[in-house]
């Protein structure tokens, strides 16, 4: 641009001056003035945003204030037939993205998710702050790392990608729709919990080089691996063991892949497979029906197949063009170790779940509404502890979940919404650990207190910039 401006000025001066010495003098003066202007622009940019100017870091701020009215209708074994509560929460998310090169990007996302005032969660639940769910379950004002990872693209046309760190693994499709968020990588029906690990993606560019059909189909493939539990006693073990030596539990690892065989921008088919080893579970060792000892209980396999449409049909009008619809089928299989119990049994158990829903245009261009229906079988078990509602995860339900929601944009960057979730539990243990605590017991016949039905009415207002 600088050379272009100088050239234009020189040409103009050429027609205005016939004396070469005067022309050279004028060009030098113009160069000097242009250099001064350029330097002033750089200094002004540094004053306005020194981070963006020097390091190419982009920053976003997301504040959501939420009200939830929750209600549980308990089974016959409970002392109270109904439990209710109303809860206000503030969730603050700060995101920084740095892109020093076209093929390299790093993301950092910090989050605090707090209940208004003080609460007694530490007295009643020691699991809220484990790394899988720390940002998904509101409690205190601690700021935690939600995401911290980089993406490095390389190979032919940068068609290969490697990533490491704390990966984005919550809020995947279709759970993202109800919050008007962009989808994360895993499908939320099967996986909706944070993890630390690695991923390797083969983009459609690579597949297109193999065959023109792959180009038309939009095929791509991603491999993922991570660790859910590190067998370690920490820096100063109380029993005098060496620092970071193994404890009595095994390392829990998982691996899987996402295959998208077809995606033309409107219609797509997604497939997700995951394996996990050395899963933990609480076992009842005293015969009193109270799980008390944590053990390695077995392995796990999960499958998810999702068909989705961004727009329905052709030339059916704006309503169908702007409707997103989907059908998702998921399967889980537990594989207990010899002599151990997973979900209360020593047998391999298969569970299944269906998730059907849609998001449609609202009354104006700045709003939308949608619905979700989920049905889970007796032994269904998704990989989620990150609760998508305060009454539990609809993706993990053993029974039926029904949900309707409405989102409205008040003005750019300021939105509000209303959501009603109703869960009809048929069996207990929907999102418990994999041992005896996850045993599916008929809610109506359970000899212990259990939620039979649950409601969550949520209203929120959100600023996002």
Higher pLDDT, 168 or 259: 259
Q: Is 117 exposed, middle or buried (0-12, 13-18, 19+ CB in 10 A)?
A: exposed
Segment (H or E) for 404? strand 399-411
Give me the CATH code for the 57-464 domain, please. Answer: 2.40.160.10
Contact 440, 344 (CB under 8 A): yes
pLDDT of residue 15: 38
Mean pLDDT score, 392-407: 96
- Which of 71-75, 137-141, 163-167 is predicted with the least confidence, judged by mean pLDDT? 137-141
pLDDT, tens digit (0-9, with 9 covering 90-100), for 55-91: 568 899 999 999 999 999 999 999 889 999 999 999 9
Distance (Å, whole) CA 274 – CA 2: 54
Residue 193 has pLDDT above 60, yes or no: yes
Alpha carbon of 26 to those of 2, 6, 33, 39, 380: distances in Å? 16, 11, 11, 20, 80
Contact 223, 243 (CB under 8 A): no
Q: Enumerate the H helices of 294-402 as residue ranges.
A: 318-321
- How many Cβ atoms from other residues are within 10 Å of residue 129's Cβ? 15
Higher pLDDT, 135 or 87: 87
Percent of the chain with pLDDT over 90: 64
pLDDT, tens digit (0-9, with 9 covering 90-100), for 424-456: 999 999 988 898 889 999 999 999 899 999 999
Mean pLDDT score, 139-168: 93
In this prediction, residue 35 has a pLDDT band, given cuts at 50, 70 and 90, of low
pLDDT of residue 384: 87
pLDDT, tens digit (0-9, with 9 covering 90-100), for 305-335: 999 999 998 878 889 999 999 999 999 999 9
pLDDT, tens digit (0-9, with 9 covering 90-100), for 324-365: 999 999 999 999 999 999 999 999 999 999 999 999 999 888
Mean pLDDT score, 120-129: 70
Percent of the chain with pLDDT over 70: 86
pLDDT of residue 39: 54
Domain ranges of the chain: 1-48, 57-464
In this prediction, residue 34 has a pLDDT band, given cuts at 50, 70 and 90, of low
pLDDT of residue 64: 97
Mean pLDDT score, 143-161: 95
Contact 136, 390 (CB under 8 A): no
Residue 49 has pLDDT above 90, yes or no: no
pLDDT of residue 30: 59
């Amino acid at each position: 641009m600088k050379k272009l401006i100088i050239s234009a000025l020189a040409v103009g001066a050429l027609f205005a001056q016939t004396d070469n010495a005067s022309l050279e003098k004028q060009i030098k003066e113009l160069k000097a003035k242009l250099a001064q202007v350029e330097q002033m622009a750089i200094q002004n940019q540094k004053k306005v945003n020194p981070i963006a100017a020097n390091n190419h870091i982009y920053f976003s701020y997301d504040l959501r204030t939420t009200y939830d009215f929750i209600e549980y209708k308990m089974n016959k074994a409970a002392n109270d037939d109904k439990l209710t509560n109303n809860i206000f929460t503030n969730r603050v998310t700060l995101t920084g993205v740095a892109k020093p090169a076209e093929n390299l990007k790093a993301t950092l996302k910090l989050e605090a998710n707090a209940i208004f005032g003080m609460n007694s969660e530490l007295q009643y639940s020691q699991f809220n702050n484990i790394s899988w769910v720390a940002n998904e379950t509101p409690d205190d004002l601690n700021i935690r790392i939600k995401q911290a990872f980089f993406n490095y693209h390389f190979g032919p046309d940068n068609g290969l990608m490697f990533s490491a760190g704390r990966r984005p693994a919550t809020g995947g499709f279709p759970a993202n729709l109800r919050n008007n968020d962009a989808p994360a990588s895993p499908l939320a029906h099967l996986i909706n919990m944070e993890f630390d690990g690695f991923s390797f993606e083969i983009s459609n560019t690579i597949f297109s080089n193999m065959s023109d059909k792959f180009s038309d189909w939009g095929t791509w493939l991603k491999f993922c691996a991570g660790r859910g539990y590190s067998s370690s006693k920490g820096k100063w073990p109380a029993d005098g063991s060496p620092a970071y030596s193994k404890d009595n539990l095994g390392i829990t690892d998982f691996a899987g892949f996402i295959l998208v065989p077809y995606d033309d921008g409107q219609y797509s088919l997604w497939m997700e497979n995951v394996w996990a080893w050395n899963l933990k579970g609480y076992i009842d060792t005293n015969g009193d029906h109270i799980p008390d000892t944590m053990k390695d209980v077995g392995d796990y396999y999960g499958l998810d197949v999702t068909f989705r449409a961004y727009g329905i049909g052709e030339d059916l009008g704006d309503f169908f063009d702007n409707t997103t619809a989907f059908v998702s089928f998921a399967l889980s299989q537990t594989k207990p170790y010899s002599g151990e119990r997973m979900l209360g049994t020593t047998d391999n158990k298969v569970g299944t779940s269906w998730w059907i829903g849609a998001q449609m245009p609202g009354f104006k261009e700045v709003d939308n509404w949608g619905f979700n229906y989920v049905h889970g079988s007796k032994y269904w078990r998704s990989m989620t502890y990150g609760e998508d509602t305060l009454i539990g995860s609809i993706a993990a339900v053993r029974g039926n979940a029904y949900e309707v929601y409405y989102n409205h944009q008040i003005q750019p960057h300021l939105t509000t919404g209303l959501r009603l979730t109703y869960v009809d539990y048929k069996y207990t243990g929907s999102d418990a650990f994999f041992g005896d605590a996850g045993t599916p017991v008929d809610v109506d016949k359970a000899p212990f207190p259990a939620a039979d039905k649950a409601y969550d009415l949520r209203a929120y207002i959100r600023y996002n910039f």
